[in-house]
Structures are given as structure tokens and as C-alpha cells.
Amino acid sequence: MKKVLLPFSLLFFAVILIHAQNFKHIIAPSVTYLDNVKLNVKIQPGDTICIQSSTRRSLNFVNVHGTQEKPVIVINYGGEVIIQGVDLRWGIAFNNCSFMHFTGTGSPEIKYGFRILKTMEGGTSGISGNGKSTNIEIDHFEIANVGFAGIFFKSDPVCDLSANRGNFIQYQTIIHDNYIHNTGGEGLYIGHSFYDGYNKTCDGQTVTLYPSTLSGVRIYNNVIDSTGWDGMQVGSATEDCEIYNNRVTNYAIDKISMQNVGIQMGAGTTGKCYNNVIQDGNGNGIAIFGNGNIDIYNNLIVNPGKDYWVEDKSRPAHGIFIDNGSTIPGTYFNVFNNTIVSPKTDGIRFQNNISVNNNFYNNIIVNPGSLLDYLRIPAKNPWINLNKANIVLTKSNNLYEVNIDSVHFADYANYNYKLLSTSPAVNAGFDVSSLGINYDLDYNLRPQGNAYDIGAYEYVSDSLSLQNTNSLQLVNKNIPNIESLISGANLIKNNINNKINLQIVNALNLTTDFDIYPNPSNGQFRFKRNNASIINISIYDLMGNIVYRENNIKDFDKEIDISNKLNNGKYFITTNNGSNRTTKSIIINR
């Protein structure tokens, strides 16, 4: 079901009306510390803490508690609140707090009423929550230029076990409608990463401590850009976790292995990851290491790993990556209706042989970077790579393409990956309505025609009205599931469950990014590019070995002479301009 949110202005007035009868605390710019016990501030459930419009160094809340029916509201008052402190470890912190709602909706004309614009370098965060804090909601914040995470919220286990698994649960972690950018570490760091425990010295002895779990996580409508590490990671969320409607771009700019994911559901986590846009990052688009029973659907993932050590195959980056992690035997992973474009390595790499009843339906995967490995070793499927033995998995109605033009996206040059009516993905999908997926990335109803479409977007004609979708009868394109011949390497790929459109020799030469002539060639040929991008060029043989490379080509029409370096045969020319990778074939015949 589509999530329905209050309009911005209504949300603001709702806060004021609900709390008009409760006490309002006006917090002056000079106040940085509010401890409800030590300072006897007397903040009661249902009270509103109004932070005066100002530029201040920090805010720290300790021992503040509301109730489920009467949360404590912290809101900007009289305009925007700017927080910046180059010598402090946080912008806003809360410790041992519960049932609090931090919201930047105090001035209807300002989208982000709280702006945390600077913290000291190193392990510092825009918002930091710990000390058994629970039932916290955070929205309408801008957070930028922080040393570590934009929002960092977890409670570490302690030697007296009071904050540990079995004794404490972090309930109702709700983070939405925030703009987080230019962070030293993660955009969002929610829950503990070491679900399986870690050693600590307690009373002179080394013991294993297990972190608390999370229940009721909702992370949605956040815009996250230019993070040093992961766009977001959620760990130890063992119950009722949903991550949706987020936009994550330019993540992992530091290119640090194991800290380079757009959205990560870490160990101990279960739930749903859907309707997110993940674009232009240096690592996996989505990475899953959780407990299982996880649904991943309606996500658009573009260029994952595009600048991540481009020529180094030992550093992979996939559209979606699923490992064993903390998987509970007998659980499942569903991957439905995702659109994955130009991953550095595989479209989906699945190496989980503990789960069962895994289903991968209706995914569009285009131009995977590991295609040359596939030509060399067919078992290394670049679209859905099952990278361990004894994997239980059902695949059906996935669309695999080498040439992006073959998909018939609306305007991929401008990042519009909606479908045209001529797309082979239209009416070619598997019916997943029984799993509750009856909408697309834009929340258009599925199906619009006689069958589900493949990919994150359902094709919607401009002439169709969503109000009478159920009565529409579109023409069924009856796209068959076929066998396709990979003629470039004389390989036959039989797959009755998937429509594969490779046609290496012909299809690769349809792209307009560059031309090669003459082809066949004696090894002396001209390389003519058709756009203004400065590019890098690599030439591979059929075994995947690089036989020629040249970077920073600026000439539109360039002569290349490799006649004395190559034997006769087929080769592949790959270009990379920093955002797109294109491959064509050439025949050397002297």
C-alpha cells in the first residue's frame, strides 16, 4: 500500500494543535544542555521544546521522556535553527531519552527547520543517540559537513548487561524527510553492526557482549548525497524494518572497501527495502547481510561502482549483493521488479546458500561490467551470479540486456528510466500480486495492462487515468521467453525463464557512443566518438585480458594502430567516461 503522509503545512498545524494545551519550553540560543533529572527542567510528556531561531554550537538532551500518547516535541521556533561547532562531537545528542519527536517543521515556509552544518573532524555526527534511547522520530533536518555519520543512533552493550540483547530493545526508530550530504562516514548509521557480538573486558575478564535489537524501523523520504562511506546502514533490526522512498547518490566517495554501499541491511536485520533510487556510487547499490525474510523491490540502481577502482576486477561492485551474513536457516530473499543499470561487476550477486524459497522475478539488468568474464567463463553469469554451491533460487521473467537502447527507456541520458510503450519489459512480467506488490516506484498501480511490467517502473500511457486502471484492457505484447544465441563467443545460453537479448556481434554496434571503422580491420583503424566526453579506452581479448589501454582521449577522431600487437580474431573495445561504460566488438583479420 502506498504510504500516505500529511502535507507539510498540515503536519505543522497538527503539532501546534495537539500540544496547545501542554507546556512550551522556549530554549534560548545560549542553552546547550537539557538534563531533565540533574537540572530539574521539568519536561513532561506532551510538552513542546521550542528551539529559538539562532546559530548555536550544539544541543544535548538527557533523561527526557514522553509517552506513546504524549511524546515530547522538539521543534524549531521563529525560523531556522543553525547548529555548527567545529570543536564538538555532535550537533544534537540525546541520551537515555524516549518518545521524543525532533522535527524541523516549526516554520511552514522552511523545509528544513534544523540545519546542522558542521561538527569537528573525526568520529563525530550530526545527530547522535545512545544510552538506551528509544521511540525517537527525526524529520526535516539538513545535516552536512560532519566528521562521521549524519545520524548515528544505537546503544552499545555494556558490562552490566542493561543495554544488551534480551534486556533492552530500541523501538520505533523513525527517520524521514531529511537532507544529509557531505559526511565523513555514513549518511545514516542505525543500529549496531556487530549483531553476532564482540569481546570486551569486564571486571578484568574478556566476555562477549551482544548488542540490543531494533523493532519498528522506518526510514523514508530522505535525500542522501556525497557520503564518505555508506549512504545508509541498518543493523540488528530483527523485526519490522522498512527502508523506502529514499534517494542515495554519490555514496562512498572515499572508496573504502566494506564501507561502500548505497543501502545496507546489515547483520541481524530483516524486513523490506523498496522504492529507493540509488545512483552513481562507489560500491554495491544494495547489500544484504541480514537474517533473511527480506523483500527487495521497485528499486532503481544506476551506475553502482562506476568510479570504484575501474580497472581492478578484484574490487567488485554489484547492483544488489546478498551474502550469508546472519541468515537464519529456512528464511528467504525476494528480489522483484528492480531496475539495475551499468553495475561495475554483476547485476545481482547472490551467494547465500543458507536461505531457501528465494525468488528473483521481473528485474531489468543492463550492461553489467562482468560481461567479458561471462564470455570467458559462462558459469559467471553477469546478470544474476550465484556465487556459491547449493543455492536454492527461482528466477523468472527477468530482462537482460547489453545495449541500453534495447530496453527503450524514456530518456536514460537524463536518468529517466521509465518505460516507453515499445519496451520489451512491458506486459512481460510475472504476477507478484500475491506478495502485496501492486504498485511501482512512482506508486502507479500494477499491472496497468494484461500483465506486470518488468523493472521498477510500470509503463503508464499519458492517455490512461489511474482512477480506472482496473477496467483498462491494454494490448498484450505477448513477449515470449526465448533462447538467445551469444554469437560473439559461440556460446549458447538456454534459459526458458528469462528473455535474454545479447547478440554480441550486432547489438553492441548499435550504440551511438562511438564508431569503429573499418571493421573488420587489419589492426589499423579509426576510433570516432560521438559525444563531448573525455574517455578512457580498453581493448580486451576473448579471455578477458587487456591488450591495449589509453586514458584521457580528447580527440573525436583518433587513429589506433595495434597491428603488430594482436593476432587475428575478435576483440572488445570498452570505453568509460566516468559515468557510462560502453562496449563494442571489432574483428582483426590481416
Query: Domain segments of the chain: what residues?
Result: 1-148, 511-588
pTM of the model: 0.76
Q: What is the pLDDT of residues 138-192, one digit of tens each?
A: 999 999 999 999 999 999 999 999 999 999 999 999 999 999 999 999 999 999 9
**Percent of residues, the chain, with pLDDT higher than 70:** 84
Question: What pLDDT does 276 receive?
Answer: 97
Cell numbers for 306, please give them. 562506476
Question: What pLDDT does 292 receive?
Answer: 96
Q: What is the mean pLDDT of the segment spanning 195-216?
A: 95
Q: What is the pLDDT of residues 384-402, one digit of tens each?
A: 999 899 999 999 999 999 9
**Percent of residues, the chain, with pLDDT higher than 90:** 65
* Dist CA 408 CA 418 (whole Å): 9
Contact (CB, 8 A) for 453 and 424: no
Question: What pLDDT does 115 receive?
Answer: 97
User: Could you tell me which residue, 563 or 377, shows the higher pLDDT?
Assistant: 563
Q: What is the pLDDT of residues 283-318, one digit of tens each?
A: 999 999 999 999 999 999 999 998 899 888 889 999
pLDDT category at 418 given cuts 50, 70, 90 is: very high
> 384 has which bridge partners?
348
Q: What is the pLDDT of residues 213-222, one digit of tens each?
A: 999 999 999 9
Residue 296 amino acid letter: I
Cell numbers for 565, please give them. 600487437
pLDDT category at 578 given cuts 50, 70, 90 is: low
Coil, strand or helix at 487:
helix
Cell numbers for 486, please give them. 551469444
pLDDT reading at 1 higher than 90: no
Contact (CB, 8 A) for 384 and 409: no
Question: What pLDDT does 581 receive?
Answer: 66
pLDDT category at 67 given cuts 50, 70, 90 is: very high
Question: What pLDDT does 300 receive?
Answer: 98
Whose cell is 530483516? That residue is 270
Of the listed ranges 24-38, 80-94, 474-488, the one predicted with least confidence = 474-488
Cα dihedral: 470, 473, 478, 479 (round 10): -60
Question: What pLDDT does 573 receive?
Answer: 82
* Dist CA 205 CA 199 (whole Å): 10
Average pLDDT in the chain? 84
Q: Quick one: which H or E segment has residue 517? A: strand 514-517
Contact (CB, 8 A) for 316 and 260: no
Residue 268 amino acid letter: G
pLDDT category at 379 given cuts 50, 70, 90 is: low
* Dist CA 249 CA 278 (whole Å): 6
pLDDT reading at 27 higher than 90: yes
Contact (CB, 8 A) for 107 and 79: yes
Q: How far is CA 406 from CA 341, 348, 400, 424, 435, in A?
A: 13, 20, 10, 8, 29
Other CB atoms within 10 Å distance of the CB of residue 313: 14
**Of 23, 21, 79, nearest to 54 (Cα)?**
79
Question: What pLDDT does 480 receive?
Answer: 25
Question: What pLDDT does 355 receive?
Answer: 96
Cell numbers for 267, please give them. 547483520
pLDDT category at 502 given cuts 50, 70, 90 is: very low
pLDDT reading at 119 higher than 90: no
Question: What pLDDT does 491 receive?
Answer: 26
User: Which of 110-124, 255-269, 506-520 is most confident?
Assistant: 255-269
Question: What pLDDT does 7 receive?
Answer: 33
pLDDT reading at 504 higher than 60: no
Give the fold, CATH level 3, of 511-588. Immunoglobulin-like (2.60.40)
| HSE-CB for 394 with a 13 A CA cutoff | 10
Q: Are strands 581-588 and 569-576 parallel, antiparallel or unpaired?
A: antiparallel
